[in-house]
């Protein structure tokens, strides 16, 4: 429904980036028929229930072509080692300043990576179409930053916090399965 050269930013849950079958087919089609140029990886609970990870995919619709339109996808990992809550630590517009600067809305063709082998903590990184299409199921769930909480076992959250997060993840998963079941019953 998007006009040729029309631009879109769509919020999608993580599973859209990696599920097989129809998901892989849709991703290959999206890479071929649009210029899918940016993926913003968001912390858990920003758009969906706590425990559900979301992404914003940015693309421009293109006319039919024998060659794929997507040449590179830029990723901004605003998820790894970033934590927000709905009560004590709300995400604010100012938290997205670095992403906006990296996105370079004035001219997205003048972007520069913040990640490099010398700077492995850079959140802004580019991957080529060939790298992505070669991935299992054309998976777009790419990550490269090390999660500090996994390395620092002495500073794990309290057990009640961990238990609460596990419950939230299980409830979010159960809600997803319930929606799938309703869809199957209505099909």
Higher-pLDDT residue of 8 and 163 is 8
Q: CATH classification of 7-149, choosing from 2.40.160.60, 3.40.50.150, 3.40.190.170, 3.20.20.60?
A: 3.40.50.150
* Residue 71 to residues 49, 131, 139, Cα–Cα distance (Å): 33, 10, 16
Q: Tens of pLDDT along 56-80?
A: 999 999 999 999 999 999 999 999 8
Token output for 53: 């990870």
Please report the beta strands in the chain, taking only residues with DSSP state E, as ranges in sequence order: 7-13, 34-41, 54-61, 72-77, 124-128
Most confident of 8-17, 87-96, 165-174: 8-17
Q: Tens of pLDDT along 141-159?
A: 998 998 876 655 555 666 7
pLDDT at residue 12, rounded to an integer: 92
d(CA 60, CA 39): 13
Q: Tens of pLDDT along 105-126?
A: 899 999 999 999 999 999 999 9
Q: 21-30, 63-72, 76-85, 126-135: which range is least confident on average?
A: 76-85
The domain spans of the chain are 7-149, 157-187
Backbone φ, ψ for residue 132 (5° rounding):
-75, -45
d(CA 92, CA 69): 33
Mean predicted lDDT score pLDDT of the chain? 87
Pair 114, 77: CB distance under 8 Å = no
């Amino acid at each position: 429904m998007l006009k040729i050269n029309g631009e879109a930013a769509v919020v999608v849950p993580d599973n859209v980036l990696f599920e097989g079958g129809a998901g892989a087919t849709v991703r290959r089609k999206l890479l071929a028929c649009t210029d899918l140029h940016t993926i913003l990886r968001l912390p858990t609970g920003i758009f969906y229930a706590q425990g559900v990870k979301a992404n914003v995919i940015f693309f421009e619709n293109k006319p039919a072509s024998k060659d794929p339109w997507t040449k590179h996808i830029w990723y901004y990992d605003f998820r790894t080692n970033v934590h927000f809550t709905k009560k004590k630590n709300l995400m604010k517009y100012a938290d997205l300043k670095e992403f906006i600067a990296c996105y370079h809305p004035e001219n997205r063709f003048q972007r520069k990576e913040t990640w490099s082998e010398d700077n492995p903590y850079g959140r802004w990184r580019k991957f080529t179409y060939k790298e992505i299409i070669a991935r299992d199921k054309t998976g777009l769930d790419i990550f490269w930053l090390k999660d500090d909480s996994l390395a620092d076992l002495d500073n794990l959250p309290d057990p009640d916090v961990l238990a609460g997060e596990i419950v939230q993840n299980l409830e979010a998963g159960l809600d997803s399965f319930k929606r799938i079941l309703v869809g199957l019953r209505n099909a």
